[in-house]
Structure 1
Amino acid sequence: MGSLRAGTNTAGRWRKVLYERQPFPDNYVDRRFLEELRKNIYVRHYQYWAIVFESGVLIQQLCSVCTFVVIWWYMDEDLLTPQWLFGTSFLASLIGYVFFDAIDLGAGRRINGRTRWADLKSTLVFIAFTYGFSPVLKTLTESISTDTIYAMSVLMLLGHLIFFDYGATAAIVSSTLSLNMAIFASVCLASRLPRSLHAFVMVTFAIQIFALWPSLQKKLKAQTPHCYTVVTVLFAVSATAGLLTISGIGALLFTLLLLAISFLCPYYLIRLQLFKDNIHGPWDEAEIKEDLSHFLM
């Protein structure tokens, strides 16, 4: 009993310790417990126009999917020849290739050690293999019904938008999976075109708009933000205009979607920050922070 009394707090004041017996219940805390309470210490303060600028990545991908579907519809309705599409897309890719190097004066190429000869060989190999396998791509899904092909294409394009790398660090992000789903959708849709040449051009165009175009846009965003904004607006207008030639209601809904993502969602994101109430205090889990500087010396 003597040792028990010696370990008991005789002052009658509660102390936040575990090694001492105190005449208080186990769940007792006094008013000083909340002195260490902190609220919203890790809250990010957003700027409206900065969020609008960042939403351009999502706008770009939505417009890419819209443009791809519009081009496919024109090919399917025989309103666009594969020769014209291949020539136009090849010229646009060549201009984009030159512009890609001109943005940073070739600094990125020197860092990666990639030569133009290597790029040319990769392009020729891709075109040769795609053209050689275009008859296979055309007949690959002949046994599957058209409704199933359309459903799979829609799901793959939605998956492409979901898993695309928009610049956020999240477990769901997968650039490889996103690109593969977009290419799979292009193969499915290309199999419903009239001839093998149509399928070859459609798959080639899918590579250009889903793989090459985002790379150029990413560099534009990092190096020339004003140019990136202009290109995003022009791309959105072009995609909407192309959709307008097919469906007026679809173009209207697509325009409302782009406006909501660009201007309405950033507004609500900032407004919702006012209702955030994250609390931090002595009840948080302990974080062990080690100083590793002595290991590096």
Structure 2
Amino acid sequence: MSEDSPPVPWKWRKVAYGGMQPGFDDNHTDDSFLEDMVTNANVVKRDLCKVILDSVSISQYLCTVTLVVLVWASTLASTISFKSLILLDVALLVSGFIVLLLTARMISLKLFAQYILNIMYFAIGLYALSPIYHTLTRSISSDSILALTTMLIVLHLFLHDYTGCTVKAPGSVSNPSLSSNISLNVSIIASVLIASQLPSRQLVFAIVLFSLQVFLFSPFIVYCIKRYSFSLYLSFSLGLMSLTLALVYRLQGFLFGVLLSLLVFITFICPYWLTRIQKYKFEINGPWDEAKLCFDVTD
């Protein structure tokens, strides 16, 4: 090569250290930089019908909590007696075990007997602690208790795990998330606060047992129904929502309108909004993203 000939230009390459390429800055890119750009590669297209069916779990649990609040209000107003509450507790317990036997495919008699034994221990311990719950908030006004209970129930609804993924199979439960733990704890605290306002220890025992059956065991029973048959789960949820609306309508028309509006908003309007805003989602992937390591493990 003669001294008068122009120097051969360096060709830019994609390397880990751009400063090792003479004549190019560290942030240099050539015309091929955007050739590997991919848009919306990981965006999931949502179907409106599927989103509506998924939202039924939220509406169903909202009605479940509403029924619990109705029982609380009726007990505080002395319109439900101790015997009625005990019959309700027994009915819920028996129906829960029947559903568990019919829908759980991998439950054994030994495991079923263990469930019954645990329930007995749980009820005996709860009855022994009912005098403590009865006098727990004696020095606090009823208005403060009701306001705190309302805030706890709202927090419980916001943090509740509506996917049901924490329950895997009868007798085995995966590690719950922090939000689901907080949700469960605040529901128990709200139940104890309401029970502390009741006039007798027997009512305290009955109402706390009822509340814990709903908040602790009903999500597992509903999960078993959903896993066994989605059509059966859908029928159960619609029946529960209809029952709740009927009871609230008998109580007060304004509350019926509020609950009905919430159910329509959660079940239909929110899924419609979610599917509509999908077209505005824009995700860009390209060579500038962090590398994802893939390991091929062979025997």
Instruction: Report the TM-score, using the length of structure 2 for normalisation.
Output: 0.86
1:52-100 per-position Cα deviation (integer Å, ceiling 9, x unaligned): 1111221122112111111111111111112112203312320221121
- Tell me what 2:115 maps to: 119
1:99-125 per-position Cα deviation (integer Å, ceiling 9, x unaligned): 211114xx3324xx8533322222222
- Shift in CA distance, 119/26, structure 1 to aligned 2, threshold 3 Å: closer
Q: Does 1:10 align with 2:26?
A: no
Q: How much identity, in percent, do the aligned residues show?
A: 29
CA distance in 2 between counterparts of 1:115 and 1:286 reads: 47
- Tell me what 2:230 maps to: 225
- Tell me what 1:66 maps to: 66
Q: Which amino acid aligns with 2:48?
A: Y
- Tell me what 1:197 maps to: 202
- Tell me what 2:185 maps to: 180
Contact 1:165–1:173, Cα closer than 8 Å, also in 2: no
Contact 1:164–1:173, Cα closer than 8 Å, also in 2: no
Q: Does 1:248 align with 2:253?
A: yes
Secondary structure of 1:115's counterpart equals: helix
Secondary structure of 1:68's counterpart equals: helix
- Tell me what 2:106 maps to: 108
Task: Tell me how large the CA RMSD over aligned residues is.
Answer: 2.3
Q: Which amino acid aligns with 1:191?
A: S
CA distance in 1 between counterparts of 2:160 and 2:139 reads: 30
4+ residue runs of structure 1 moved beyond 6 angstroms?
168-171
More deviation, 14-23/230-239: 14-23
Q: 1:245, CA displacement in angstroms?
A: 2.9
- Tell me what 1:6 maps to: none
Q: Which amino acid aligns with 1:117?
A: A
Secondary structure of 1:208's counterpart equals: helix
1:8-36 per-position Cα deviation (integer Å, ceiling 9, x unaligned): x9346543333643434443323211101
Q: Does 1:80 align with 2:80?
A: yes
CA distance in 2 between counterparts of 1:15 and 1:86 reads: 78
Secondary structure of 1:109's counterpart equals: coil
Count residues with an aligned counterpart: 282
Secondary structure of 1:46's counterpart equals: coil
- Tell me what 1:53 maps to: 53
- Tell me what 2:288 maps to: 283
Gaps in structure 1 of 5+ consecutive residues: 1-8
- Tell me what 1:269 maps to: 274
Q: 1:172, CA displacement in angstroms?
A: 5.8
Contact 2:19–2:26, Cα closer than 8 Å, also in 1: no
Contact 2:19–2:25, Cα closer than 8 Å, also in 1: no
Q: 1:289, CA displacement in angstroms?
A: 1.6
- Shift in CA distance, 26/191, structure 1 to aligned 2, threshold 3 Å: same
- Shift in CA distance, 10/151, structure 1 to aligned 2, threshold 3 Å: farther
- Tell me what 1:27 maps to: 27
CA distance in 2 between counterparts of 1:214 and 1:269 reads: 26
Matches of residues 29-44 of structure 1 in structure 2 within 5 Å?
29-44=29-44
